[in-house]
Amino acid sequence: MVIERAPLEDELGDVLEKALRLAALTENELAERAELDLERIADAIDYRGEFTVEEIDRLAGALNLNAIGLRAVASKHYPLPEIAGLPCCLYPMRMAHGIGVANAYVVADCSRTSGILFDTGTDGEALRRVWPDQIKHIEAVCLTHCETEHLGGLAEVRRRWGDVPVFGPATSRGHPGIVPIGDGGELELGGFTISVWRTPGHSEAHNCYVVRRPAVKRAVPLLLSGDLLFAGSVGGAYFCRDKMAKSLRRLLTQLPTETVVAPGHGPLTTLQNERVNNPFVHGF
């Protein structure tokens, strides 16, 4: 069982900025809809100022956000669940990125010293510093997407383990040596089944991975969500806001509620927790 204490990826200002992009609204339009001064909206996005509960609810209504979740983020008391029931040992590796962290993960049979690496972190030195002592070898790498903070340690991985297979989104461009794997693909590695979900929106080429262990029938699935879904937030819709919303809806409606979520930034969570509390999950 794990009780997470890592900080959230996003504060209120980040959530408002991402919500504006998803809603295709300007700050002026939000201020008008929420009946708030434009200066206060701008201050909030710049991490200054506070709102009353009633004002937070007006912001949520104007942006079509979950008011419960927006209140929780604004109060800095976002609830995080206990993490239990996984059919594996999960090793989160958190590396400094900006004012937050970028995550990579090793998934392994707890009785073994080899595992599967999901994303490679910010750079080789950072990855070495946080590497779990128990893991001596990796069988494969699965990349969610090719942004620097999730790909930066790949050269170190290749230096240390040679020609380990590296899987990534089928539309990855300019990254030789990545084996493309698209929606519906499956990998059988280390006693685990890894299902591939193509989830564009944050970027054009983005995969999520669902890890199950067929030998453990009642274990909960593990979702490696990359920069699609975070505890208390979502990734920025830099490629396409409509595809981002579609990708989120697909995960939230097609995977079991007990699924554990290991995101590209911030703490572990569950789909059930995000369905109730995430500001961006509204009406799913």
- Interatomic CA distance for residues 261 and 269, integer angstroms: 5
Rounded to an integer, what distance in angstroms lies between the CA atom of residue 242 and that of residue 267? 26
Comparing C-alpha atoms, which of 223, 215, 188 is closest to residue 110?
Answer: 215
The whole-number pLDDT of residue 11 equals 95
First to last CA, the chain: 28
> How high is the mean pLDDT of the chain?
93
- Cβ-Cβ contacts under 8 Å for 83 (sequence gap 6 or more): 1, 2, 3, 4, 260, 268, 270
Using pLDDT thresholds of 50, 70 and 90, give the confidence band for residue 172. Answer: low
- Nearest CA to 33 out of 59, 52, 72 is that of 59
- Model confidence at 173, pLDDT cuts 50, 70, 90, reads low
pLDDT tens for 15-74 read 999 999 999 999 999 999 999 999 999 999 999 888 999 999 999 999 999 999 999 999
The rounded percent of the chain whose pLDDT value lies above 90 is 87
Neighbouring-strand partners of residue 196? 209
Element of type H or E holding 104 = strand 100-108
Q: Decide which of 7 and 186 is more confident.
A: 186
Give me the sheet containing 137-142, strands edge to edge: 89-97, 100-108, 114-118, 137-142, 166-169, 179-181
pLDDT at position 272 is 96
With 90 as the cut, is the pLDDT of residue 195 above it? yes
Q: Read off the pLDDT band of 224 (50, 70, 90).
A: very high
pLDDT digits (tens, 9 = 90+) for 111-136: 999 999 999 999 999 999 999 999 99
